[in-house]
Amino acid sequence: MKAKFFQVFDYFLFICVLFLVSLGIMFIYSSAVNSEGFLVSKEYVKQIIWAGIGIVLLLLTAITDYRRIIRYVPYLYAAFALLLIYTRIFGRYVNGARSWIGFASFGIQPSEFCKVVYIMFLALYLANSKSESPRKRFFISLGIFLLPTGLILLQPDLGTAMVYIPIFLLMCFVAGLPLRYIFLIFAGGLLTIIFTVLPIYQSEIAHINYKLISVLTNGKLSLLVIIASFAICLIGVTGKFFFPENKYFYWIAYYAGMFCAALILSKVAGKVLKDYQIKRLIVFIDPDSDPRGAGWNIIQSKIAIGSGNLFGQGFLRGTQSHYRFLPEQSTDFIFSILAEEFGFVGCMAVFVLYFGILIRMVYIMRATNNEFGYFIISGILAMFFFHFIVNVGMVMGIMPITGIPLLFLSYGGSSLWTAMICIGLVMSIKGHKFEL
C-alpha cells in the first residue's frame, strides 16, 4: 500500500499547490501589516493552521479509492442540500450574505464544500445515464445543478453560485450532451444577467433613459412582453407537435422560451440580489461613476497592480495594502498585493503554477478509463479555471467584482480545504486511471 501510494502520488501537483499556499500565507501576512509596520491581524496564523489541515485532507483523499464512496454520493448531495437550507435560515451574515455556520472565530461556508459533492453527484449521474435520451439526461442534470445553485442564490451569495455554472456547462459538454442544450443554459444565463443589470446601468452609469430598457423597468410592459414571448413559445411547441418534420417550430419555441425564462429570472434576481451586488456586476465598465462606492475596489486594485511594475516594490513594501486602501485585501484582492510587491514577474510565476495545475488535470483526465473519474476531473478543472480567470480579471478591472476568491492564495479555510480535497480527488483518480 505504501509503495503503491508513492508510485501514484502526483508530486508535480503537490509542489505547485505548496508553492501557491506558501505565497498565499506570505501575502496574507503582508496584508495584516499597517503603514507603521505593526501587525493588525493574525489571519496568517489561521491560514497556516488551515493549510496544515488542508494538506492532511489532500493526502487522505489521495490515498482513498474515490470509487468506494460512489454509494454515498447521493446521500451526501441530499445532506448538503439540507445544510444549505439550514444555512439560509440560521446561518451568520458575512458581507451581506447568510452563508456561514459556526462561531464568529471559527465558521465554515457549506456552499464551498457543496461544490465537491455537486461535482461528484453530477459526474455519477452522467456516467450512469449513457443509455438514456439526451433530453432526459439534460433535464435531470439541470435539476442537479439548479437545486444547490438556487439555494445559494437565496443566501444571497452571487459569487459562489456563479461557480456552479461553468462546472455544469463543461461537464455536460464532455458528457456529449447536445450543444443546443448547453447553449440554452449559457445564453439564457447571459440574457438573465443582462436583463438584471441593464436598469442599474441606465440609472447609475449611463444616466440616460433608453426606451428599450423601459421593457425591464415598467412592470406592466414587462408582464406584457413575458406573456407575449410565452405565447410565441407555446405556438412553437404546438406547431412542433402537429408538424414534427418542420424544424422552424422547434427553433421558434427554443428562442422564445429562452427569452421568456430570462425575463422571468431577471425579475427574481432583481428581488433576491441587493442593489450593491447588481451594481458590482457593471461598475467595472466605468469605475469612476462611483469612485467612493462600488468603483473604489477596482480603482485601488488597478493602482496597486500598476505600481508593481516589473519586479514590484518588494515584500512588505506595498503602499496600497499597508495604508489600507484595498478592501478585502486578504481575500478577494490578494492578487493585487502580490502584483504590487512582486510585480509582473511574481504575477507570471503564479500564472505558471496555476496553468501547470490545469494542464496536469487535463493530462490525467485524458489518461483515465473510468468515466466517473473523467467527469469529476472535468468539473474540478472548470471550477479552478473559473476561479482563477474571474478573480484575476476582477482585480485587473476587466471583469465584474463577484467576491470569488483566488484558490490557495486567498484567506479562508472553507475555500482552501475545498481546493485541497479537489486536488486529492484528482490524485486518487490518477492512481486508478487504468481501472474500470
pLDDT tens track of the chain, all 436 residues? 454 566 668 899 999 999 999 999 999 999 888 777 677 788 899 999 999 999 999 999 998 889 888 999 999 999 999 999 999 988 888 777 788 887 656 778 999 999 999 999 999 999 999 889 999 999 999 999 999 999 998 888 888 899 999 999 999 999 999 999 999 999 998 898 888 888 887 777 767 777 778 778 777 888 899 999 999 999 999 998 888 888 889 899 999 999 999 999 888 887 777 777 777 777 777 777 777 776 788 888 888 888 888 988 988 888 887 777 777 778 888 999 999 999 999 999 999 999 999 999 999 999 998 899 999 999 999 999 999 999 999 888 888 888 889 999 999 889 999 999 999 999 999 887 645 4
- CA–CA separation, 269 and 271 (whole Å): 5
Q: Are 122 and 375 in contact (CB under 8 A)?
A: yes
| β-bridge mates for residue 100, sequence order | 92
Q: What distance lies between CA 396 and its chain's CA centroid? A: 18
pLDDT score for 4 = 59
Read off the C-alpha cell for 268.
427574481
Q: Are 67 and 432 in contact (CB under 8 A)?
A: yes
Q: Are 307 and 340 in contact (CB under 8 A)?
A: yes
Q: What distance lies between CA 417 and its chain's CA centroid? A: 15
> Whose CA is closest to 287, among 278, 297, 277?
297
- Cross-sheet strand order for the sheet of 107-108: 92-94, 97-102, 107-108
Cα distances from 300 to residues 71, 201, 231, 250, 344, in angstroms, run 49, 22, 48, 49, 17
Q: Where are the domains of the chain?
A: 2-431
Q: Are 284 and 298 in contact (CB under 8 A)?
A: yes
Read off the C-alpha cell for 99.
452563508
Instruction: Name the maximum alpha-carbon separation found in the chain.
Output: 77
Read off the C-alpha cell for 155.
443566501
Say what the pTM is. 0.91
| β-bridge mates for residue 98, sequence order | 93
pLDDT score for 433 = 63
Cα distances from 255 to residues 155, 162, 251, 282, in angstroms, run 30, 23, 6, 26
Question: What number of other Cβ atoms are within 10 A of residue 38's Cβ?
Answer: 8
Q: What distance lies between CA 94 and its chain's CA centroid? A: 18
Strands 97-102 and 92-94: antiparallel
- CA–CA separation, 74 and 191 (whole Å): 32
- CA–CA separation, 247 and 99 (whole Å): 45
- CA–CA separation, 354 and 361 (whole Å): 11
What are the residues whose beta carbons fall under 8 Å from the beta carbon of 385, sequence distance 6 or more? 166, 358
- Ramachandran category for residue 102: left, alpha or beta (phi over 0 → left; psi -120 to 50 → alpha): left
Three-class DSSP category at 316: coil
- CA–CA separation, 357 and 361 (whole Å): 6
- CA–CA separation, 78 and 197 (whole Å): 33
For 252-296, give the DSSP string. Answer: HHHHHHHHHHHHHHHHHHHHHS-HHHHHHTTGGG-GGGSTTTTTH
